[in-house]
Structure 1
Amino acid sequence: MRAYYYDDEPTDQRLPHDSGEPVSLDTLAHLGVLYWTIPVAEGESIPEGVDAIAKQRGYKNRDVINVSKEGLGDAYESKIKGFFEEHMHEDEEIRYILGGSGFFDVRKHAPAPNQERWIRIFCAPGDLIVLPSGIYHRFTLDTNNKIKAARLFQQDEPKWIPHNRGPATDSNPYRAEYVATIQPVSVA
């Protein structure tokens, strides 16, 4: 995993967009983003270390998603577009990367919207990331155009409904609870 501020250049979303300004694990933790590295071998099932974290955090269920042209078929283009829309969920988003790679962008909350910045998090095999309920985020593949990830969740049926950013979502109780748990961090 590597985290840094997004450069906001209007080019292909799958490019690194590295501003050259690294972001620490402490900054991510302040935003509620949790991270572990648990090595996985090519073709290996989910390692015991992931099971231990799942048990500790109360994740009871899981599935595996293959985000690629082959894995999503005709829905590929619409899914990729939808994943990159700024949104939040009412549940945590938990992903363990089994293969491929991609980027999770999280919105660094600030006192005013014009002070917010995207933080880009590059994830590759062995990375386990937890995005808290209520955080604005988006996802894209990198130029390899594929990622295979285990999705862990607490309920039988996760509430992965994306709530795109807007006035209604800004006042969503899960968003309000998230904002109340963090204090704005000044933008460098």
Structure 2
Amino acid sequence: MTRLTVYSDSDPSTVEHSTTDRAVIEAHLALAGILFEQWEAEQPIADTADSGAVLTAYAGAVATLKQARGFRSADVVRVPKGMPGTEPLRAKFLSEHTHEEDEARFFVEGSGAFYLHLDDKVYRIVCEAGDLLSVPAGIKHWFDMGPEPHFAAIRFFTRSDGWVAAFTGDVIADRFPKYDGPKYDGPK
């Protein structure tokens, strides 16, 4: 379930705010200049769809975001459930960093958690299928795909060399609760 949790950056043991209300999440993040949207596929898409089929299924939304935010390209990254060797991949994104360009991710399937370090707060946004998150350039953040990752996401780029991080050297991410993966909340 998509969830926003807000902590003080000095006290990860105390939750200051938590919500699953998508409208509240969108409004709360917008105050910090962060875009959060929900997208639906324009056509049916199989769980095993290749990158081309995924991009085609969301072609209108992808084109709109690229034009609005100046992204030059988009691709699809897929980490299937049970993929071996994911621990080093997870570790790569668990350190606080920034980018010179906006970082936008749309979750086609699965889930992951973005942690945004804004002033004296840390916002944890657990994103799931249908969620788009666009983090403006320069915002300190990290990403946790969980101990048993499973997701497919459309990534957007303005740079031809793709994802380039500037690590802050701050160990703040080590103090905050890790993302354990999706939880079953009972029948929907």
- Which of the numbers 158, 172, 177 marks the counterpart of 1:154? 158
1:134 corresponds in structure 2 to 138
CA distance in structure 2 between the aligned counterparts of 1:162 and 1:105, rounded to whole angstroms: 15
Structure-2 change in CA distance of 1:45 and 1:139 (3 Å):
same
Shift of 1:91: 1.4
Sequence identity (%): 28
What do the CA deviations read for 1:59-104 (whole angstroms, capped 9, x no partner)?
2211111235755x53x21221121111111111110111101111
Structure-2 change in CA distance of 1:54 and 1:133 (3 Å):
same
Shift of 1:54: 1.9
Structure 1 residue 21 corresponds to structure 2 residue 25: no
What are the ranges of 5 or more consecutive residues in structure 2 without an aligned counterpart?
Answer: 47-52, 171-188
8 Å CA contact retained: 1:68, 1:147: yes
What do the CA deviations read for 1:38-58 (whole angstroms, capped 9, x no partner)?
023553623122322222222
1:186 corresponds in structure 2 to none
**Aligned-residue CA RMSD (Å):** 2.7
Q: How many residues align?
A: 151
CA distance in structure 1 between the aligned counterparts of 2:15 and 2:94, rounded to whole angstroms: 17
> 1:107-126 maps to which residues of 2 (within 5 A)?
107-109=117-119, 116-126=120-130
Structure-2 change in CA distance of 1:18 and 1:141 (3 Å):
farther
8 Å CA contact retained: 2:87, 2:147: no
1:177 corresponds in structure 2 to none
CA distance in structure 2 between the aligned counterparts of 1:18 and 1:123, rounded to whole angstroms: 18
Q: Give the letter for the 1:35 counterpart.
A: F
Q: Give the letter for the 1:164 counterpart.
A: F
1:84 corresponds in structure 2 to 94
CA distance in structure 2 between the aligned counterparts of 1:58 and 1:4, rounded to whole angstroms: 29
Structure with greater helix percent: 1
Shift of 1:143: 6.0
2:75 corresponds in structure 1 to 63
Q: Could you list the runs of 4 or more consecutive aligned residues of structure 1 that deviate by over 6 angstroms after TM superposition? A: none
> 1:5-20 maps to which residues of 2 (within 5 A)?
5-6=6-7, 8-9=12-13, 20=17
8 Å CA contact retained: 2:97, 2:165: yes
Structure 1 residue 49 corresponds to structure 2 residue 61: yes
* SS of equivalent residue, structure 1 residue 79: helix
Structure 1 residue 97 corresponds to structure 2 residue 100: no
